[in-house]
Amino acid sequence: MNHLISLHDLSAAEIKSILELAAELKAQLKEGVPHQLLKGKTLGMIFTKSSTRTRVSFEVGMYQLGGHPLFLSSDDIQLGRGESIYDTAQVLSRYVDGIMIRTFAHKDVEGLAQYGSIPIINGLTDLLHPCQILADLLTIYEYKRRLKDLKLAYIGDGNNIANSLLHGCAKVGMHIAVASPAGYECDQQIISESLEAAKISGANITLTQDPEEAIIDADVVYTDTWISMGQETEKEKRIKLFMPYQINTKLFSKAKADAIFLHCLPAYRGFEVTKDIIDGPNSAVFDEAENRIHVQKAVMALLLGNRS
């Protein structure tokens, strides 16, 4: 593993190693055991999209590993204001030990990996969000003690979260059903990649427009905001279109009785999910949010520290 661009690039064994190290680092943190695996290392963090969880979890995680996080907003660097990805990758490769980037265009992440000489971590693009799905997988394992042959139902927009869930579930052998309205399905290339990976892992992939079909007998129920950053002008249209996909008591009751609810946050109660679900006994959203820091620490340790 040289970069974390997409979960499709990783083997099932590599994903397992990330989750195992994340669990180990989480346990050590809870026990007060220091683990400064990246002492003396610096992570450049490029943000062209604002963030709460991504910035705080990477920044604090890097500190806990003994390294130094360097926050770089679009106001701090020349990327996007005339300087090319090539020049940015070349220069930062001389200064820092790794780059995490949270941005709009997925090609920017790929360009940094292509032209730089240091590890690149995809903190989020409009296409994929691999760090979030690693946190999701760790959370699911903590609750269910396995991943293979579980069923995850994703209900809502076929966005970067849905795309990376397809990748992640297909790699680890978890069945996944995605329900999205027509015109808002997952990326076709992502679907094709996931179907190929599922042939190896034994995962079943179901794509439907019917949320009730998707959620039947699910062990995990997942949704995301209907209006992602940059889609604000579509708000009224999207709310009307997606309201039948709301996770509420009636829909959630069709999942297994012990199903857990996940949401990558921020959540908008009364829209994609009702308060009684996200704040109810089946919700694991804050454990899920916490696990961002643990899986990202594992990714940074494996990439920047050459830990195997």
**pLDDT tens track, the chain, 308 positions:** 899 999 999 999 999 999 999 999 999 999 999 999 999 999 999 999 989 999 999 999 999 999 999 999 888 887 766 789 999 999 999 999 999 999 999 999 999 999 999 999 999 999 999 999 999 999 999 999 999 999 999 999 999 999 999 999 999 999 999 999 999 999 999 999 999 999 999 999 999 999 999 999 999 999 999 987 777 788 899 999 999 999 999 999 999 999 999 999 999 999 999 999 999 999 999 999 999 999 999 999 999 996 44
Domains 7-129+292-304 and 130-288 equal at CATH topology level: yes
d(CA 141, CA 287) in angstroms, rounded, equals 12
Q: CB count, 10 Å around CB of 243?
A: 11
> What percent helix, strand, coil does the chain show, rounded to 5?
45, 15, 35
What is the pLDDT, as a whole number, of residue 19? 98
What is the model's pTM? Answer: 0.96
CA 125 from chain center: how many Å?
10
What is the pLDDT, as a whole number, of residue 306? 61
CA atoms within 13 A on the CB side of 283: 19
- Tell me the domain boundaries of the chain: 7-129+292-304, 130-288
What is the pLDDT, as a whole number, of residue 228? 78
Coil, strand or helix at 304:
helix
Hey, what amino acid is at 104?
Answer: F
Closest C-alpha to 105, from 147, 46, 48: 48
As given in the structure block, the two tokens for residue 234 are 């579509």
Closest C-alpha to 165, from 50, 60, 25, 288: 288
Q: CB count, 10 Å around CB of 185?
A: 18
**Residues with catalytic annotation?**
102, 129, 132, 224, 264, 292
Report the DSSP pairing between strands 98-102 and 151-155.
unpaired
What is the pLDDT, as a whole number, of residue 151? 99
Give every CB contact of residue 73 below 8 A, 6+ residues apart in sequence: 47, 48
CATH superfamily of 7-129+292-304: Aspartate/ornithine carbamoyltransferase (3.40.50.1370)
First CA to last CA distance, the chain: 10
> In the chain, count of helices (H) and strands (E)?
12, 9
Alpha helices in the chain (DSSP H): 12-31, 53-64, 85-95, 106-115, 130-144, 160-172, 188-201, 211-215, 235-242, 249-252, 275-278, 285-304
Question: The domain 130-288: what is its CATH number?
Answer: 3.40.50.1370
